[in-house]
Amino acid sequence: MTIKLLYFASLREALGVSGEEIALPQDVDDVAKLRAHLAARGESWQVLEHSKKLRAAVNQSMVGNETRVKDGDEIAFFPPVTGG
């Protein structure tokens, strides 16, 4: 399946990428597994798996790590928000 990934703020700067489309193995089917899958890319990506602070949104709603990932989803990772 193919998903769209977005990264924001300090995470975007740390990774050096703001967004990408990637093909996922079928067994990467929830947010926790997606974090581990991306963390395997290298050191700067490990924060996705190991930081408890980094938030995830699936299709523009903030979600927990147990949330399922489906083909065509828009999935974003970002630090705690600081607007207002």
Q: Which residues bind another protein (CB under 8 A)?
A: 6, 8-10, 53, 57, 60-62, 76, 78-84
Given its phi and psi angles, is residue 72 left (phi above 0), alpha (psi -120 to 50 degrees) or beta?
left
Burial class (CB in 10 A: 0-12, 13-18, 19+), 68: exposed
- Shortest Cβ 12–another protein spacing (Å): 8
* CB atoms near residue 66 (< 10 Å): 8
- In terms of CB distance, is 69 or 78 closer to another protein? 78
Q: Which is nearer to another protein, 47 or 78 (CB)?
A: 78
Q: Measured from the CB atom, is 32 or 54 closer to another protein?
A: 54
